[in-house]
């Protein structure tokens, strides 16, 4: 039976090599946030596989190779699944305004089935028939979800449930 790494050993390895691993990850990913995630993943792999090292140099080499391989995997994944920078989306300008950002927070706090329909209809401009087709549900279901979503929004905004906006 193999021995488990103790917390002191892991802390010592982390403190010795975190800067090297970070630099390697940053050289591949060129993004601090992704790099931090990659560094965490590398040290999680250390905990998971618990390789036996005979020297600090061997320890460092394993971490560097693991970091390189992990970053290459992330880059391959991002080539197959490109990301969109949300700050470049046209909707982002709309939400910069505090009045609209408050509305967005309310819409995002709705239950998922209502949130999706409200967002697609009012913010993206899709018709109820288009939303029904996208979501693979009946148009009457979409109408019902939109009605209840608007009703919940109005209640969160402090409005009267009998106001015209709901109907």
Q: Would you say the pTM of this structure is higher than 0.85?
A: no
Separation CA 35–CA 33 (nearest Å): 5
- Digit-coded pLDDT (tens) for 42-61: 999 999 999 999 999 999 99
CB distance 11 to 54 below 8 Å: no
Separation CA 86–CA 78 (nearest Å): 16
Tokens of 89: 């989306």
**Rg, Å, the chain Cα set:** 25
Tokens of 126: 């899709």
* Sequential pLDDT tens for the chain (167 residues): 346 788 899 999 999 999 999 999 998 898 899 999 999 999 999 999 999 999 999 999 999 999 999 999 999 988 888 766 655 555 555 545 555 667 777 887 888 888 888 888 887 788 899 888 888 889 999 999 999 999 998 888 887 655 544 44
Give the position of tokens 């390895």.
13
Separation CA 67–CA 49 (nearest Å): 14
H or E element in which residue 142 lies: helix 139-156
């Amino acid at each position: 039976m193999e021995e488990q790494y103790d917390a002191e050993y892991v802390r010592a390895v982390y403190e010795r090599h975190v800067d090297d691993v970070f630099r390697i990850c940053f050289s591949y990913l060129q993004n601090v946030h992704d790099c931090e995630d990659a560094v965490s993943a590398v040290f999680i792999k250390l905990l998971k596989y618990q390789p036996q090292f005979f020297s600090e140099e061997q320890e460092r080499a394993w971490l560097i190779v693991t970091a390189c391989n992990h970053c290459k995997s992330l880059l391959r994944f991002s080539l197959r699944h490109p990301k969109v920078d949300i700050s470049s989306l046209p909707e982002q300008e709309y939400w910069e305004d505090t009045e609209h950002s408050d509305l967005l927070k309310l819409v995002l706090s709705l239950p998922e089935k209502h949130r999706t329909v409200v967002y697609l209809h009012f913010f993206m401009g899709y018709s109820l028939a288009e939303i029904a087709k996208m979501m693979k549900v009946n148009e009457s279901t979409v109408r019902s979800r939109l009605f209840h979503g608007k009703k919940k929004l109005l209640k969160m905004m402090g409005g009267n449930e009998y106001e015209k906006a709901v109907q």
